[in-house]
Chains A and B, each alone.
Chain A
Amino acid sequence: MKTSGWFPRTILGVGLTFLYAPIISMMVFSLNNSRLVTVWDSAHSPTLKWYGELLGNDEILGAAWLSIRIALIAASGAVVLGTLTGVALARFGPFRGRTLMVGMTTAPLVMPEVITGLALLLLFITLQQAIGWPHGTGMVTIILAHITFCTAYVAVVVQSRLVGFDESLEEAALDLGARPGTVFRRITLPLVAPALVSGWLLSFTLSWDDLVITQFVAGPGSSTLPMVIFSKVRLGVSPDVNALATIMVLLVASGITLSALWLRYQYRRRERDLQLAAAANQ
């Protein structure tokens, strides 16, 4: 395809600047000595003191640790449920309850979080009144809530990957004598594995980053990192938040770069193999 004209490319440039200016500004000012954050204190900057403060801040560290644990469990739970959903939607053809399942899988993708959060909290309270569990809100309720909305994302990712694959692969396996369980284990799962990985990462990010729903279903004792950050920034800018943001951006950026390089390596290898095959064509 031809490359695009100057107009859209300019907009792309503007858009990318727009996307990155705030991030870069945050990172730059994390090195600023001034507590006012955006007023550059040239005398004493750049400095790493806010990073130091961050590392000594128990509240933030504790919240971060809680968020990580929640995200790990929620992502794993979401991957299990999401894979089952994705497989059912991609491979089972029409079944009773399919429309319902499709609806419940696409709705969370767009549902405003205040609604979902409210609904989930009310569910937990009603459950508590009815059967005595859960005993108040806390880590468990947060995890349950996160699994619920992350499942939808995983389902979409898994389903789209499965749909791209020939159904006859699974039929061929059945034909060769494998029972359905074996087919799932040895054919379907390996094929959707990349989708499982990206689904897991997606869920982890969504859970780790979630504020609104968590605010509803968290109890007095549990403060996740987003909750701590939010209460801080409601009052205005805060330099240690800048430091935190910078750390996160750097982590994510290196993660993405590494995976992109890995994918590129895979791609190059495939290209080479295809050329080998073409050369050996009989």
Chain B
Amino acid sequence: MTQNLQTESLRARRVVMGIPLLWLLLLFLLPFLIVLKLSFSETRLAIPPYAPLLEWLGGVPHSALHISNYAFLFTDPLYISAYLYSLKVAIVSTFYCLLLGYPMAYVIARAQGTWRTVLLMLVVLPFWTSFLLRVYAWIGLLKHNGVINNILMYLGLIHQPLTMLQTDFAVYVGIVYSYLPFMILPLYANLEKHDGALLEAAADLGARPFTAFVRVTLPQSIPGIIAGSLLVFIPAVGEYVVPSLLGRTDQLMIGRVLSDEFFENRDWPLASAVAILMLLLLVIPIMLFQRSGGRELESHH
């Protein structure tokens, strides 16, 4: 009875959502399944360098599952320390990013009219220039005969150049620098929506500005804090460019480890296992992000 109306619009809808759904299934979901399968494979001297994913033995599809890669990862200290180090770096960087980004977002959200647009533009502009080049810029600043050392020596504050490159410090700087807009924008989107009347009510009830901030503004901004922090933390765990250009050589982050396993050692199954393990570590933050963050990203732009 109501068939025609429903089926016609249903068909159109299926097309609209079907195309991107199909694309994403094939080019986003399926690859992960392949990585998963490969992580259970063995290396072979072949092109590509792994045992076939699916073998047909007597007409029946046969798949071998080796957990040797995972066993290796769990027991070899190099990998364990790489994972832990990556988590540590990501957490610390996120924290500094939040410390720096929150006040900035706060000021921008409370700025009036033109000022607000100008400030937003200033914050967003670096994002549109090359990420790679901006990280590169830090090399010039941090190296032994780089800008910072030159200035400090010129001013007589130090007599020997500080070692800033290839340290944890450099990686924190690099990550905070690159991801700052990702922290500021969700925070701004959240803070901008706050009702000024609430702060006025707090003042009316006797709260001093700082108290009002802690008891009124801060709690309301928690969703923004979570969204911004996850937007920084999750990719930071697997960062590759920043530690490659600025980071330590004695302790690698997991992104670098994965890349090395893949490109240098040609051990694709192991690299896959590294990736899957990284994913498992990040699954909960990713789900948290999808739950809360999606909404926070919406306001700006």
Contact = CB atoms under 8 A, between A and B. Distances in A.
B215 to A, nearest CB: 16
A113 B240 contact: yes
Contact of A7 (B25, B103, B272): B103
Interface string A141-161: 000110110010001110110
B162 interface: no
A180 interface: yes
B238 A113 contact: yes
Contacts of A109: 231, 289, 297
B207 interface: no
13 contacts: A8-B106, A9-B107, A22-B138, A23-B126, A88-B16, A88-B17, A110-B235, A114-B240, A195-B301, A211-B241, A212-B241, A236-B143, A264-B114
A18 B148 CA distance: 12
B241 A92 contact: no
B196 A115 contact: no
B31 A112 contact: no
B290 interface: yes
B278 interface: yes
A104 B239 CA distance: 21
Interface residues of A, number: 102
Main secondary structure of the interface of B (DSSP, over half): helix
Contact of A5 (B177, B209, B241, B297): B209
Contact of A106 (B103, B282, B293): B293
B141 interface: yes
Interface in B1-44: 9, 12-13, 16-17, 19-21, 23-32, 34-35, 38
Given A4-B110, A88-B16, A111-B235, A230 B132 contact: yes
Interface of A: 1-5, 7-9, 11-12, 14-16, 18-23, 25-26, 29, 36-39, 81-82, 84-85, 87-88, 92, 95, 97, 100-116, 118-120, 122-123, 125-126, 129, 144-145, 147-148, 151, 155-157, 159-160, 163, 180-181, 195, 198, 205, 208-209, 211-212, 215-216, 226, 229-230, 233-234, 236-237, 241-242, 244-245, 248-249, 252-253, 255-256, 260, 263-264
Given A112-B255, A160-B301, A84 B16 contact: yes
A205 B16 contact: no
Contact of A198 (B177, B237, B301): B301
Contact of B137 (A15, A25, A118, A253): A25
Contact of A244 (B133, B298, B299): B133
Contacts of B290: 102-103, 106-107
A193 to B, nearest CB: 14
Given A23-B126, A23-B129, A114 B24 contact: no
Contacts of B238: 111-115
B234 interface: yes
B202 interface: no
Contacts of B138: 22
Given A115-B275, A209-B132, A252-B125, 15 more contacts: A3-B111, A3-B112, A22-B140, A26-B140, A29-B140, A102-B294, A103-B290, A107-B290, A109-B231, A110-B235, A112-B282, A148-B27, A148-B28, A229-B132, A237-B143
